[in-house]
Amino acid sequence: METINIGILGLGTVGSGVVRILQSHADKISSITGRKLKVKTVVVRDMTKKRTVDLDGVTLTDDFEMLINDDSIQMVVEVMGTVEKAREYIKRLLEAGKHVVTANKDLIATYGPELTKLAKEKKCDLFYEASVAGGIPILRTIVNSFAADQIVSVKGIVNGTTNYILTQMNQNNVAYEEALKDAQELGFAEADPTNDVEGIDAAYKMIILTQFAFGKDITLDDVKIEGISKIQLSDIKEAKRLGYNIKLLGVAEKVNDHITISVGPVLVPQTHPLATVINENNAVFVTGVAVGETMFYGPGAGELPTANSVLSDIISVTKNIVMGITGNSFNDYSHEIKLATPDEVKNPYYISLIVPDKTGEMLKLTELFTNAEASFKLITQTEANEGFAKISIVTHAMTEAQLLKIEEGLKQETDVELLAAYKVLEKG
Amino acid sequence: METINIGILGLGTVGSGVVRILQSHADKISSITGRKLKVKTVVVRDMTKKRTVDLDGVTLTDDFEMLINDDSIQMVVEVMGTVEKAREYIKRLLEAGKHVVTANKDLIATYGPELTKLAKEKKCDLFYEASVAGGIPILRTIVNSFAADQIVSVKGIVNGTTNYILTQMNQNNVAYEEALKDAQELGFAEADPTNDVEGIDAAYKMIILTQFAFGKDITLDDVKIEGISKIQLSDIKEAKRLGYNIKLLGVAEKVNDHITISVGPVLVPQTHPLATVINENNAVFVTGVAVGETMFYGPGAGELPTANSVLSDIISVTKNIVMGITGNSFNDYSHEIKLATPDEVKNPYYISLIVPDKTGEMLKLTELFTNAEASFKLITQTEANEGFAKISIVTHAMTEAQLLKIEEGLKQETDVELLAAYKVLEKG
């Protein structure tokens, strides 16, 4: 049986997982591809670090040029992380005619179009299934199974850290800070959690999902981003009382003939499949004109799940090499579509406020909402600290422009504190 | 742009959906495949029947030979149903070098290996994504994304009719007969519901899923099948009280190095993702060694969802024609694996019985279970009709052989009526 030699850039969690699966599932992989897949060279930064995988017969080096100069290596897996360095390496690998598989979402979200173009020119494959939602094969599913359909919306729980924190807050009634600490101790959150808790990680994934679902390249600036670090336990509880779980959702959806992309806390009805996705799990809910509502659920991270997605790419490359058809883009859907304006995007909102507990406050609020032509669906007033009341409002659907007007109005009221203004997913 | 001509066999619900999507999403399909896909000829049984789709420019005929004799038709979609006739037609189409897409699960479950072999010989594609779980792209996902993984189990809610009926029983406290009548009125169940409610339809789908997940051809005789028509409302309620929803699950799983395949009512913990799949929806829960737990959820039937799966096959065939790589099997995983014996397959069981309400009955039962070396985890006794008690038992894990011994013992006791003996999915 012919051998296909593979190089690996980086031997952290995912890299180790790739080596492990290639070793333990070698028979099945060979039976499917008709090829023996062999890790020939692994490039690492620190040669002295202790490794947990069996590297018998593998060349371990800190010299990247060993990949470039070895013509017997047809495919390289990039799992080293970072953006600029990875970009430079991948460009050089593609220039050298090597197929590339990467799990690097920041890189693809930032330089995807450039690298895709280069890969195509060089007749190389460039796959990155593992860059979104770890073990869930969502990218390949969109390419293969939604090709004939028109996707209307993609709603994703695509960040495990924040979903874990929100699950703890929701199930165990703990505040954000405590849930974060817990997540850090369990290894679900990093020491500096900013990227996850502020929604940046989810936004990168939504950039890639938008490219696949709507055929449109966007940048981080096109995504409205809000994180979870300001979510109050009292709002989690109030949402629950109303029949919702608060989730950090990435949403990319069509509005009229435009699209809007956002990441932020959303009230999800407890009867909605996304509400049942707990802990560090991920799920992507895709609605198509023809197919209706579908959901793809699984682990969003972890050594073996992510490595498995890398492996599915490796096998795709291998099959393409065998059939002589490398060089086709991962996603060949491209479509001219504009971003929606704040006037177009309509949602019901959950708004919560702390106001002084005195006569006339509710009148002031009501006037403010009326000026923005927004209407209440539901209002609850409860006691807050001494002399203050907490008011929670669910509005009827209104535009982002209306919400902005309300938010600006509230800022003028120095004695009113806006705690939350979250989208509400309507009950089906 | 080059045109690829398509023939369609049958113009019922799915066939009409295929025509509709090809018309309404023509631009997107062309932008992805680089080809214009045109329905040239549709073969129907009854030419006089009124059609709801636009057939402008399409030849409608009742003469199958028009497909065979038209060299310009490269691909035929079989959505006419039936087994023997469809088998004969598809064989002739493949012999004539035409690619075939079918949604016919009975056919594929019965004659899949024979037709796959013929397709390969003739370098034709034969795809059948729509045959399992309607709009959920589960077959292609297993092929593409679990290729490097070892699947441990596939658990599916793969029949919408029975899931609708069980949802009604569970949510609205109605008995089986009433829920069935309701499903029939809404069009979710057929006038003769046998195939669905007795688990046959689900078993056919599990045969195909087993082929994809474990690389093994099995027949209906290899599947242990129980339907839902004997499920008592009292057991649905008791299960609910214990924290479970009763679902009709198809299960194909590895036990030691063997596999076991069954369809039957299972108590699913309410916290399990499968428990939240309600009404006519389908879901397939796949566990892999590397990836862990994943679930694919969506509509299990319906004109457009099923047609969308057919379309994903049509697009795959088209891409393969363009790249000149037709003739590869849909699933190229094949593996020697034996079926497990009843001694190997272990599960906890939920057992419910009606017994005379008199001294010594419980002792008799306890002896019977002890003789089979089975042990109770939980027992509830409630009043049944005058002079009778209902006993519900959850056992610790035991083998199918032990269960059989208990069932046989109970049969000897003429005054004991066995209502249910269902598997229990353990809480995670």
The answer to whether B105 is a known ligand-binding residue is: yes
The percentage of residues in chain A with a pLDDT greater than 90, rounded to a whole number, is 93
Q: Is A337 on the interface with B (CB under 8 A)?
A: no
What pLDDT does B428 receive?
Answer: 58
What pLDDT does B301 receive?
Answer: 87
User: Which is catalytic among the residues A40, A205, A247, A254?
Assistant: A205
Least confident of B231-235, B263-267, B362-366: B362-366
Chain B residue at shortest CA distance from A286: B298
Chain B residue at shortest CA distance from A213: B28
Judge: B299–A312 Cβ closer than 8 Å, yes or no: no
DSSP structure string for B332-366: ------PBPPTTT-EE-EEEEEEEESSTTHHHHHH
Least confident of A60-74, A285-299, B321-335: B321-335
pLDDT of B332 above 90: no
- Phi and psi at residue B48, to the nearest 5°: -85, -15
Q: Is A156 on the interface with B (CB under 8 A)?
A: no
Q: What is the mean pLDDT of residues B344-357?
A: 96
pLDDT of B312 above 90: yes
Task: Using an 8 Å CB-CB cutoff, list chain B residues near A140.
Answer: 141, 144-145
Nearest by Cα to A323 from B325, B182, B34, B111: B325
Judge: A333–B295 Cβ closer than 8 Å, yes or no: no
The percentage of residues in chain B with a pLDDT greater than 70, rounded to a whole number, is 100
What pLDDT does A385 receive?
Answer: 86
Give tens-digit pLDDT for B123-133: 999 999 999 99
Judge: B334–A21 Cβ closer than 8 Å, yes or no: no
Judge: B290–A149 Cβ closer than 8 Å, yes or no: no
Q: Residue B354: which pLDDT band, with cuts at 50, 70 and 90?
A: very high
CB B72 within 8 A of CB B38: no
CB nearest to A312's CB, from B32, B148, B296: B148
Q: Is B289 on the interface with A (CB under 8 A)?
A: yes
The percentage of residues in chain B with a pLDDT greater than 90, rounded to a whole number, is 93
User: Which is catalytic among the residues B122, B205, B247, B254?
Assistant: B205
pLDDT of A301 above 90: no
Q: What is the mean pLDDT of residues A245-251?
A: 98
Give tens-digit pLDDT for B57-68: 999 999 999 999
Say how many C-beta atoms besides its own lie within 10 A of residue A359's C-beta. 7
Q: Is B269 on the interface with A (CB under 8 A)?
A: no
Q: What is the mean pLDDT of residues A296-307?
A: 94
CB nearest to B148's CB, from A29, A149, A335: A29
Q: Is B341 on the interface with A (CB under 8 A)?
A: no
Q: Residue B426: which pLDDT band, with cuts at 50, 70 and 90?
A: confident
Q: Which of B24, B25, B144, B311 to substitute to test the interface with A, most A CBs within 10 Å?
A: B144
Q: Is A104 on the interface with B (CB under 8 A)?
A: no
Q: Is A26 on the interface with B (CB under 8 A)?
A: no
Active site residue B205: yes
Judge: A21–B148 Cβ closer than 8 Å, yes or no: yes
pLDDT of B253 above 80: yes
Dihedral of CA B297/B303/B307/B308: which sign? negative
Q: Residue A332: which pLDDT band, with cuts at 50, 70 and 90?
A: confident
* Tokens, residue A26: 């070698």
DSSP structure string for B119-185: HHHTT--EE-GGGSSTT--HHHHHHHHSSSS-EEEEEEE--HHHHHHHHHHHHH---HHHHHHHHHH
CB nearest to B148's CB, from A25, A290, A298: A25
CB nearest to B297's CB, from A129, A273, A316: A273
Q: What is the mean pLDDT of residues B94-114?
A: 97
The answer to whether A249 is a known ligand-binding residue is: no
What pLDDT does A428 receive?
Answer: 58
Q: State the smallest CA–CA distance between residue B117 and chain A in angstroms.
A: 16
Q: Residue B384: which pLDDT band, with cuts at 50, 70 and 90?
A: confident
Q: State the smallest CA–CA distance between residue B381 and chain A in angstroms.
A: 32
Q: State the smallest CA–CA distance between residue A413 and chain B in angstroms.
A: 44
Going along A44-175, which residue ranges are E strands?
59-61, 73-78, 99-102, 126-127, 151-157
Task: Using an 8 Å CB-CB cutoff, list chain B residues near A21.
Answer: 148-149, 290
Judge: A298–B295 Cβ closer than 8 Å, yes or no: yes
Least confident of A27-31, A342-346, A349-353, B176-180: A27-31
Q: Is B25 on the interface with A (CB under 8 A)?
A: yes
Residue A289: Cβ-neighbour burial (10 angstroms; 0-12, 13-18, 19+): middle
What domains are there in chain A, each with its CATH number?
A: 3-133+303-323 (3.40.50.720), 138-299 (3.30.360.10), 346-424 (3.30.70.260)
Give tens-digit pLDDT for B396-417: 999 999 999 999 999 999 899 9
Mean pLDDT of chain A: 95
Task: Using an 8 Å CB-CB cutoff, list chain B residues near A137.
Answer: 141, 144-145
Give tens-digit pLDDT for A190-208: 999 999 999 999 999 999 9
CB nearest to B150's CB, from A28, A147, A305: A28
